[in-house]
């Protein structure tokens, strides 16, 4: 099809996101709709667009843009208008007139060719201001050329912009030589890069392709299964399967082995046949060394008075601590590192409260820090202890793409660090946290080792226990907890036993349904019933082990939204992809956002969709309420939110709710695991409802084959401790 050209002015923007524009376009004595990857264009701008006409059911005849450009100004007035536009930084209308008067109608071409030198000769324009103007002019025209060139390969305008920021004017040359650079910048996955490479005519036997595939397979397998490494044979086998799928030119075993060798120490580490992504190897090594260094050390103060403090604490608070609880408190003052574990109802919170109180009496001048992996978990920790708590990220000042504020060179000042929900902490986060802690500080790790491990690579809590870090496991279930069927049945499931339900109590239910669609229907009815009983939406946590299918989070979110918060003329809504966000909806934040002060796992409610004035511009915003704090989102930030009527059990970790409802069915057989069901049911505070089949529950309770994660943390801790004591003995 022959490419057509169409020149005109953007008269109205109908829809815009980071990478796509639909707009009304007036030109050639007619007005029509244009659409395409048109970046940074504003209403009133003149463009030349290239593409083809097509027909759309809603917009009628429209022009599908494949590439576009801003035509160079042809008059003084056009040149002044362009320089004075928001595209050019540091140049208002007065300065624009001055530049055009001095350089002429072709001012923009001269700036692009000569750079700063042609501007500094103009009175009042210093080096700094000239640089800002020149950079804006050069990038404006340079970027659109790069975008136009890369679009033909299937690289979006948004990706092209990122490539320009990374490689500057060389972006096209870099990508045409090695399109797999796109994967290194996390712009696309390997398969998309492979498709782009094919469009460019890159051979399937390219070394760039093999290197990229090795890294892709290694990282994907590690993050999918929580591994820190893959055995070399497995990596080779999986890489060959990926490379040689649907291609006549086959990569050989030796070529993959050579690629692993080429990448070693740059991107990966081959540790005696166990291949790590380099960053995971560093984190595992650093964490093991820090733990071994701190293990066995003690500040040795206050130990003799701890027994007396425990007695005083019991009198003062009118409690009798169990022997294991008292042992945990004593050990806190004997060891620099201590792990406190226990199942529901065994009094972990009680003993942590006692530890904080007694520590303050022993070390009056010391600062204490409490933290947890998620915002919800940290707020819960603060609530139950009465002491301020934060996320681990916030404690050490960790933000995406940046080094932490606190590290080995700039450690935290706190001398007691308490980390809750430790089962959720992956090897990377644990490594960065421990690096930020002083070597003579006391660290208390609190968690339930029977819960799900971290979503990301590593199994840190389990590995620390196996690596010999001192630990106390609370086992006694207190009388008050014994009265809860949620607690007693959680223990039964954790021991592989069947549920015992007393129908005379109203805290535990099992509704038998077999067909997944009927399970979903009953689940919605149950949620409605709890709302009728007076529970708010935020009090009800619907959890599913899976995302897809009739009882997966996607389908259940749609059904629950339709029933609990149906569409109405009085409710505003936005659509993002296939998801509708509506006033009154329950939503979950999916990534840490430090600017907004909301974190991955925080659950809130959409309060309003409105317009606000920002920098003399009216913008559309969605206002969400998170724990009483209002947070604003623009449309292009909706990728940080998901509906939260139903979330995965993994996402629920660190939080609790009065009511929890979980579907359990043989239709998600692969997810029927003891630790998954146990983790889900321990989120419930008042009422627990399972809907499904007893057979599925029996399978889950009997399946204690926790997927083995490939880590060497435990062995490294033990080895490093042995090395440390060997050095001491030699001295």
3-state secondary structure of 390: strand
Report the percent of the chain where pLDDT is more than 70: 95
Other CB atoms closer than 10 Å to residue 354's CB: what's the count? Answer: 23
Give the residue with greater pLDDT, 39 vs 393: 393
3-state secondary structure of 687: strand
d(CA 665, CA 686): 23
H or E element that contains 34: strand 30-36
Cβ 516 vs Cβ 665: under 8 Å = yes
In this prediction, residue 731 has a pLDDT band, given cuts at 50, 70 and 90, of very low
Structure confidence by residue, pLDDT tens digits, 646-681: 999 998 988 889 999 999 999 887 788 899 999 999
277, two tokens:
């992504």
In this prediction, residue 17 has a pLDDT band, given cuts at 50, 70 and 90, of low
Residue-level pLDDT at 197? 92
In this prediction, residue 137 has a pLDDT band, given cuts at 50, 70 and 90, of confident
Maximum pairwise Cα distance, the chain = 92
Give the residue with greater pLDDT, 74 vs 280: 280
Residue-level pLDDT at 145? 76
Residue 307, phi then psi, degrees to nearest 5: -60, -45
Q: Transcribe 326-363 into DSSP letters.
A: HHHHHHHTT-SEEEEEE-TTS-HHHHHHHHHHHHHHHS
d(CA 36, CA 155): 12
Structure confidence by residue, pLDDT tens digits, 501-525: 998 899 999 999 999 999 999 999 9
d(CA 80, CA 21): 26
Q: Kindly tell me if the per-residue pLDDT of 729 is higher than 50.
A: no
Please name which of 482, 462, 449 lies closest in space to residue 347, comparing C-alpha atoms.
482
Other CB atoms closer than 10 Å to residue 605's CB: what's the count? Answer: 18
Q: Give strand pairing partners of 692.
A: 512, 664
Judged on CB neighbours under 10 Å (0-12, 13-18, 19+), 724 is middle
d(CA 83, CA 124): 16
Residue entry with tokens 């623009």: 634
467 annotated ligand-binding residue: no
349 annotated ligand-binding residue: yes
Please name which of 707, 714, 709, 708 lies closest in space to residue 227, comparing C-alpha atoms.
709
Please name which of 708, 728, 726 lies closest in space to residue 718, comparing C-alpha atoms.
726
Residue-level pLDDT at 78? 77
345 annotated ligand-binding residue: yes
Give the residue with greater pLDDT, 152 vs 303: 152
75 annotated ligand-binding residue: no
Query: CA of 1: how far to CAs of 36, 51, 54, in Å?
Result: 17, 10, 12
d(CA 584, CA 604): 10
DSSP conformational letter for 402: S
3-state secondary structure of 165: helix
Q: What is the CA radius of gyration of the chain?
A: 30
Structure confidence by residue, pLDDT tens digits, 360-397: 998 888 999 999 998 889 988 999 899 999 999 999 99
Residue 709, phi then psi, degrees to nearest 5: -100, 135
State if pTM tops 0.95. Answer: no
3-state secondary structure of 546: coil
Cβ 343 vs Cβ 491: under 8 Å = yes
Beta strand 586-589 with 641-643 is antiparallel
Look at phi and psi of residue 597 and say left if phi exceeds 0, alpha if psi is from -120 to 50, else beta.
Answer: left
Helices (H) and strands (E) in the chain, counts: 28, 26
d(CA 558, CA 314): 51
Beta strand 586-589 with 603-614 is antiparallel
What is the average pLDDT across 181-205? 90
631, two tokens:
């947070």
348 annotated ligand-binding residue: yes
Q: Kindly tell me if the per-residue pLDDT of 723 is higher than 50.
A: yes
244, two tokens:
């040689």
Residue entry with tokens 């006692």: 354
In this prediction, residue 616 has a pLDDT band, given cuts at 50, 70 and 90, of low
Q: Kindly tell me if the per-residue pLDDT of 560 is higher than 50.
A: yes
Residue entry with tokens 């349904």: 513
DSSP conformational letter for 40: S
Q: How many residues does the chain have?
A: 731
3-state secondary structure of 166: helix
Structure confidence by residue, pLDDT tens digits, 420-447: 999 999 999 999 999 999 999 999 999 9
Residue-level pLDDT at 18? 60
d(CA 249, CA 244): 8
Residue entry with tokens 């995965």: 648
Q: Transcribe 435-492 into DSSP letters.
A: HTS-TTSEEEEEE-TTS---SSS--HHHHHHHTT--EEEE-PPPHHHHT-HHHHHHHH
Other CB atoms closer than 10 Å to residue 546's CB: what's the count? Answer: 17
Query: CA of 486: how far to CAs of 40, 667, 671, in Å?
Result: 55, 25, 21
In this prediction, residue 561 has a pLDDT band, given cuts at 50, 70 and 90, of very high
Q: Transcribe 633-677 into DSSP letters.
A: E-GGGGGGEEE-SEEEHHHHTT--EEEEEEEE-GGGGGG--HHHH
What average pLDDT does the structure give for the chain? 88
What is the average pLDDT across 342-358? 92
The answer to which of 59-63, 272-276, 329-333 has the lowest mean pLDDT is 59-63
d(CA 420, CA 387): 13
Q: Give strand pairing partners of 416.
A: 368, 442
Residue-level pLDDT at 40? 66
* Residues in contact with 55: Cβ distance below 8 Å, sequence separation at least 6, in sequence order: 61, 62
Cβ 364 vs Cβ 415: under 8 Å = no
């Amino acid at each position: 099809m022959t490419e057509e050209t169409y020149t005109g002015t953007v008269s109205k923007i109908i829809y815009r996101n980071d990478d796509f524009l639909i707009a009304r376009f007036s030109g050639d004595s007619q007005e029509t709709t244009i659409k395409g990857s048109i970046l940074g264009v504003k209403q009133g701008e003149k463009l030349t667009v290239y593409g083809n006409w097509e027909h759309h059911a809603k917009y009628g005849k429209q022009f599908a843009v494949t590439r576009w450009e801003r035509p160079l100004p042809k008059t003084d007035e056009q040149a002044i208008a362009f320089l004075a536009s928001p595209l050019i930084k540091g140049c208002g209308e007065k300065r624009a007139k001055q530049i055009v008067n001095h350089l002429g109608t072709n001012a923009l071409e001269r700036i692009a060719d000569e750079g700063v030198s042609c501007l500094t000769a103009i009175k009042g324009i210093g080096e700094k201001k000239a640089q800002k103007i020149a950079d804006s002019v050069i990038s404006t025209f340079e970027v659109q050329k790069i975008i136009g060139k890369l679009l033909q390969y299937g690289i979006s305008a948004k990706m092209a912009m990122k490539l320009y920021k990374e490689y500057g004017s060389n972006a096209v040359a870099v990508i045409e030589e090695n399109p797999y650079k796109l994967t290194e910048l996390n712009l696309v996955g390997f398969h998309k890069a492979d498709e782009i490479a094919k469009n460019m005519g890159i051979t399937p036997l390219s070394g760039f392709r093999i290197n990229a595939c090795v890294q892709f397979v290694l990282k994907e397998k590690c993050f999918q299964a929580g591994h820190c490494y893959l055995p070399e044979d497995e990596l080779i086998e999986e890489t060959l399967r990926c490379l040689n799928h649907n291609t006549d030119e086959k990569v050989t075993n030796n070529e993959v082995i050579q690629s692993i060798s080429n990448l070693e120490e740059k991107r990966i580490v081959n540790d005696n046949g166990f291949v790590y992504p380099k960053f995971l190897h560093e984190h595992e090594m650093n964490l093991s060394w820090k733990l071994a260094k701190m293990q066995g050390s003690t500040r040795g103060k206050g130990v003799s008075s701890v027994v007396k403090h425990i007695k005083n604490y019991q009198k003062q608070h009118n409690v009798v601590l169990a022997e294991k609880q008292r042992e945990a408190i004593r050990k806190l003052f004997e060891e620099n590192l201590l792990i406190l574990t226990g199942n529901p109802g065994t009094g972990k919170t009680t003993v942590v409260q006692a530890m904080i109180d007694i520590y303050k009496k022993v070390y009056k001048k010391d600062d204490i820090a409490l933290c947890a992996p998620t915002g919800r978990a940290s707020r819960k920790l603060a609530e139950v202890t009465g002491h301020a708590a934060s996320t681990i990220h916030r404690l050490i000042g960790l933000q995406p793409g940046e080094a932490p504020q606190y590290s080995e060179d700039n450690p935290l000042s706190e001398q007691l660090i308490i980390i809750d929900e430790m089962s959720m902490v992956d090897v990377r986060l644990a490594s960065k946290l421990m690096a930020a802690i002083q070597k003579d500080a006391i660290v208390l790790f609190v968690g339930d080792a029977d819960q799900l491990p971290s979503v990301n690579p590593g199994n840190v809590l389990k590995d620390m226990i196996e690596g010999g870090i001192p630990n106390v496991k609370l086992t006694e279930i207190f009388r008050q907890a014994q009265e809860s069927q949620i607690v007693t049945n959680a223990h039964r499931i954790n021991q592989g036993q069947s549920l015992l339900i007393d129908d005379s109590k109203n805290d535990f239910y099992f509704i038998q349904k077999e067909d997944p669609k009927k399970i979903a229907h009953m689940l919605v009815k149950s949620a409605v019933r709890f709302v009728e009983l007076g529970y708010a939406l935020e009090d009800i946590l619907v959890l599913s082990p899976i995302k897809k299918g009739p009882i997966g989070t996607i389908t259940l979110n749609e059904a629950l939204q339709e029933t609990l918060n149906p569409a109405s003329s009085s409710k505003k809504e936005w659509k993002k992809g296939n998801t509708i966000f509506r006033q009154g909806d329950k939503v979950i934040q999916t990534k840490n956002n430090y600017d907004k002060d909301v974190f991955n796992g925080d659950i809130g409610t959409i309060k309003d969709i409105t317009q606000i004035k920002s920098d003399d511009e009216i913008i559309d915003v969605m206002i969400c309420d998170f724990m009483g704090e209002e947070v604003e989102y623009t449309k292009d930030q909706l990728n940080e939110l998901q509906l939260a009527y139903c979330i995965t059990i993994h996402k629920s970790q660190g939080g609790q709710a009065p009511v929890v409802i979980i579907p359990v069915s043989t239709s998600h057989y692969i997810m029927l695991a003891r630790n998954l069901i146990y983790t889900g049911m321990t989120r419930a505070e008042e009422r627990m409802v399972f809907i499904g089949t007893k057979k599925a529950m029996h399978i889950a309770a009997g399946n204690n084959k926790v997927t083995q994660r490939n880590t060497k943390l435990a062995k490294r801790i033990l080895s490093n401790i042995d090395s440390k004591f060997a050095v001491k003995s030699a001295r």
